[in-house]
Amino acid sequence: MLVELISVEMASSRGPERVNITVMEDEKSEQYLKGRGAQFNTKNRFLKNERVKEHIEAIDDWEESNPATQYFEDTAKGLVNKVDSPDVGMMYSMNPYQGCEHGCIYCYARNSFEYWGYSAGLDFEQKIMVKKNAPELLRKFLMNPKWECVPIGLSGNTDCYQPAERKFRITRQLLEVCNEFNQPVGIITKNAAILQDKELLVKMARKNLVSVLVSVTSFEESLRRVMEPRTTTGQQRIRVIRELTNEGVRAGVMLGPMIPGLNEHEMQRIMKSASEAGATFSAYTFIRLNGAIKLLFHDWLYKNFPDRADKVWHLIESSHGGKVNDSEWGRRMRGEGNIAELVSQQFKKYNMRFGLNAERWELDCTQFRRPGSQIRLF
C-alpha cells in the first residue's frame, strides 16, 4: 500500500507550521513507468511547499503510479514571445501547449515548466496546459500595427504536434491564422501528426511562408522508446520529410541532441536517410543537462543502460568542462573538448557529403497583410 505525504506550510496563531497531509494511492503500476521519460518528480525550485512520497511501512523502494495525461485549459494573456538567446535561430516563438507528453528525458523545456508551479519531471509529461485562446491571441498580436513581420517559430519550447494536438487542434488554428495574414513560420517537431496539416502547409509553402525542421535522434527503437517515449519512430519522421518535400514543403533534419555513447554514432545514417528523403538543410545540438534535467537524466541513464551509464556520463562531463551543464550562449549547444569537437567535425563532413548544407533561404515577409488592409508595398 502506498501513501503520498504532502508537506504543506500553513499559517497558524503561532506562525507558519508545516503540516503533512496523507493521500492514499490506490492505482497499481509497474516499477518502471513505461511510456514516460522521467520516473519521478523533481523539486520545483520556486515552490516553498514540497510534495514527498513515503512508503507506509517505511521501506525505501515503492511503486510510482502512472496516471493518464491530464489537460488543463490555460487562458494565456500572451502567445508570441521574443527569444533573447542569440543561438536559437528564431527571434520570436509561440507555443500552443506547455508541458510535452513526448517526454524526452533530455528536454531543456522541462526546467521552464517549474515557472507554472509544476515539476520538471513526471508533471512535465503528464500535465499539459492547453492555450485554447491561442488563435485569438495570435490574431490580436498580428493586427497590432507595431508588428514588423519576421518569421515566428512554432515549437520554440514544446512540440506543437505532441499528442494533445490530435485532440485540440490549436496548432492547426494557428497555421490558419498565419496563412490568412501571410505570416511566415518555422516549425520543429518529432511527431508525424504534422502530416494532418499537409494540405495547409503545401498552400503556405507555395507562398514561401513555411519551413519544417524534423528532429530525428535515433533509428534504434530500443533507445527511442525509452528516451523519447511518446514520439513517432525515427523512420516515421523520415517519412514526414519525404511526404512534405514531395509536395514542395521545404524540410530539414535536426539532430538534437547528440549524446556520446548513446546515439552520436547514428549521425551519418540519420543525415543520409534525411537527405534521400528530400531534406535540404540540417542542424544539431549536443547534450547538456541543465537544472532538474541533470537528476532526471542520471536516474534514467542508470536504469536503462547500466552497462554503459558510467561511460556516457563521463563523456558528457568531459564535453562541458567537467560538468554536465552549460549556460554559455554559443558553447552550450555544441559542448567543448575532444568528443564535442569530433561530433562537430562529423556533422560538417556529412552535411557536405549529403547536400544538407543548402543556403538558408529567407521565408517571405513581404506578403504580410492584415485582413482589411492593403497589401504592403515595397
Q: Which residues bind ligand SF4 (CB under 6 A)?
A: 100, 102-104, 107, 109, 158-159, 162, 190, 228
Computed from CA positions of residues 259, 261, 264, 269, in that sequence, does the dihedral angle turn out positive or negative? negative
Phi first, then psi, for residue 230 (nearest 5°) are -115, 30
- Shortest distance in whole angstroms from residue 43 CB to ligand SF4: 20
Closer Cβ to ligand SF4, 162 or 273, answer by number: 162
- Shortest distance in whole angstroms from residue 169 CB to ligand SF4: 18
Shortest CA distance to 320 belongs to which of 335, 305, 304, 334? Answer: 335
Task: Find all residues with CB under 8 Å of 56, minimum gap 6, and list them.
Answer: 1, 2, 3
- Shortest distance in whole angstroms from residue 111 CB to ligand SF4: 11
Q: In what order do the strands lie in the sheet with 70-73?
A: 70-73, 127-130, 97-98
**Long-range Cβ contacts of 74-78 (<8 Å, 24+ apart):** 74/98, 74/129, 74/130, 74/131, 74/132, 75/131, 75/132, 75/133, 76/131, 76/133, 76/134, 76/137, 77/137, 78/137, 78/141
Instruction: Please state, in angstroms and rounded to a whole number, the distance separating the CA atoms of residues 348 and 258.
Output: 14
Closer Cβ to ligand SF4, 224 or 320, answer by number: 224
Shortest CA distance to 42 belongs to which of 126, 118, 128? Answer: 118
Closer Cβ to ligand SF4, 197 or 228, answer by number: 228
Closer Cβ to ligand SF4, 175 or 213, answer by number: 213
Closer Cβ to ligand SF4, 166 or 311, answer by number: 166
- Shortest distance in whole angstroms from residue 21 CB to ligand SF4: 31
Cross-strand pairs, 51:
6
Closer Cβ to ligand SF4, 2 or 254, answer by number: 254
Closer Cβ to ligand SF4, 141 or 161, answer by number: 161
- Shortest distance in whole angstroms from residue 162 CB to ligand SF4: 6
- Residue 216 region, left (φ>0) first, then alpha (ψ -120 to 50), else beta? beta
Instruction: Please state, in angstroms and rounded to a whole number, the distance separating the CA atoms of residues 168 and 166.
Output: 6
- Shortest distance in whole angstroms from residue 100 CB to ligand SF4: 3
- Shortest distance in whole angstroms from residue 342 CB to ligand SF4: 24
- Shortest distance in whole angstroms from residue 126 CB to ligand SF4: 12
Instruction: Please state, in angstroms and rounded to a whole number, the distance separating the CA atoms of residues 94 and 159.
Output: 10
> Containing H/E element for 4?
strand 2-10
Closer Cβ to ligand SF4, 123 or 159, answer by number: 159
Grid coordinates representing 363 are: 521565408
